Structure 1
Amino acid sequence: MKNLIFKNGDKLPILGLGTWKSKPGEVRKAVYWAIEAGYRHIDCAAIYQNEREVGQGIADAMADGLVKRKDLFITSKLWNDSHRHEDVKPALEKSLSDLRLDSLDLYLVHWPIAFKPGIGFATHREEFYTYQDVPLTQT
């Protein structure tokens, strides 16, 4: 598969497996089979609530010798309820733990708007922080 090559030499596989809406009990196998088929980019996010199972699929593929960690490009995303400065590192550490990894290749802000703690998908004004409360630069 082709890669997007950055000026510093880093490579991002242009085709990746998205794990959003992957069903519990199925995503582990899907990740494994994708790696077996040649996928090297796995796209995850905390809000998908399946990073633990995605991590198991990655671990299975590495244990079976299909790939080494250095061969994979793993992306995850910071959810909107963790944009405050003090919440970013714990959110990253939880994703790393769930994925059974020491590092990510790319960690994105999922959406550039902050929700209050524990909010999955905000529906009321009171569930959001303002940009003054939690500026994007804080994240």
Structure 2
Amino acid sequence: MVCEARDAGCFLASIAKTHCKTTEKLAFIAGGETVVHLTGNGKGGRNQELALSAASYISNLPNVAIASVGSDGTDGPTDAAGGYVDSDTYKALEDNGINIYDVLQDNDAYNALKVTDGLIMTGATGTNVNDVAIVLIDT
């Protein structure tokens, strides 16, 4: 994945949509480094923004989760390594009065994912291979 983080999130969500009706448990793994063009003053990193951007697209897909993480254990200027969303994330944000599109416009994925317990915290790993994104589909 070498593209805008939001585009990668949409792409991974489309993989989930394509395969969510299967009777098999599936995992799709992607690597690379996405970019974020800052339009706001929020807190977050490319992996958090990738994950959050997928949330609205998988909100009606039960048993689907998408995660993205930096192999070095850091994502942007935050203490998180990345983010995790599932089919409940979008509604959980709405229930807390958070508009996902406003959050993405402000580049504030960290604070939104914090509300949903969607931050992946690893600490420094001592390595830096790439970012890793995962789509999980459970039957």
Structures share fold, TM-score greater than 0.5: no
TM-score, normalization by structure 2: 0.36
Identify the structure with the greater strand proportion.
2
Higher Cα Rg, which structure:
1
Larger relative contact order (C-alpha < 8 A, sep ≥ 6)?
Answer: 2
